[in-house]
């Protein structure tokens, strides 16, 4: 059983220091009453093709989180970032139709265009 100490940045960084995935790293910052973690990695920019530091979305970590929650949040951050990369590079007819950067208002406009079996 783990004790209920407040999960501060130092504790999160110590836990993440033991997490490995490719050459990716984790950034930890303040968010609300707690902190967040964010994956970072070098990769080609999808538009320019030049190597650039990539950043995943920010994942909140409660001050009451336990070690397992931090590790599982780091795993989710990696999974989401990988899905993001897949969506950026998956093409249909040369278009990034499932891309993560399609404007939400554009998606709203086509939301009622459904296909399916009759």
Say if 98 falls within a structural domain. no
Residue 102 near residue 87 (C-beta atoms within 8 A): no
pLDDT of amino acid 104:
96
Say if 111 falls within a structural domain. no
Say if 90 falls within a structural domain. no
Residue the block writes with tokens 């990769």 = 43
Predicted confidence band of residue 4 (pLDDT cuts 50, 70, 90): low
Question: What's the rounded mean pLDDT across residues 90-116?
Answer: 94
Q: How many structural domains compose the chain?
A: 1
80 to 39, 73, 93, 111: CA distances (angstroms): 10, 10, 25, 23
Domain extent at residue 65: 9-84
CB atoms within 10 A of CB 39: 23
Say if 78 falls within a structural domain. yes
Q: Which two tokens stand for residue 106?
A: 């554009």
Say if 72 falls within a structural domain. yes
pLDDT in tens, 18-70: 999 999 999 999 999 999 999 999 999 988 999 999 999 999 999 999 999 99
Say if 2 falls within a structural domain. no
């Amino acid at each position: 059983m783990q004790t209920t100490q407040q999960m501060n940045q130092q504790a999160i960084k110590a836990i993440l220091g033991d997490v490995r995935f490719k050459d990716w790293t984790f950034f930890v910052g303040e968010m609300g009453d707690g902190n967040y973690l964010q994956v970072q990695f070098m990769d080609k920019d999808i538009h320019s093709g030049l190597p650039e530091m990539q950043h995943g979305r920010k994942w909140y970590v409660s001050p009451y989180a336990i070690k397992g929650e931090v590790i599982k949040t780091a795993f989710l951050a990696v999974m989401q970032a990988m899905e993001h990369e897949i969506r950026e590079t998956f093409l249909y007819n040369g278009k990034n139709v499932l891309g993560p950067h399609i404007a939400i208002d554009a998606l709203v406009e086509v939301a009622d265009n459904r296909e399916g079996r009759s």
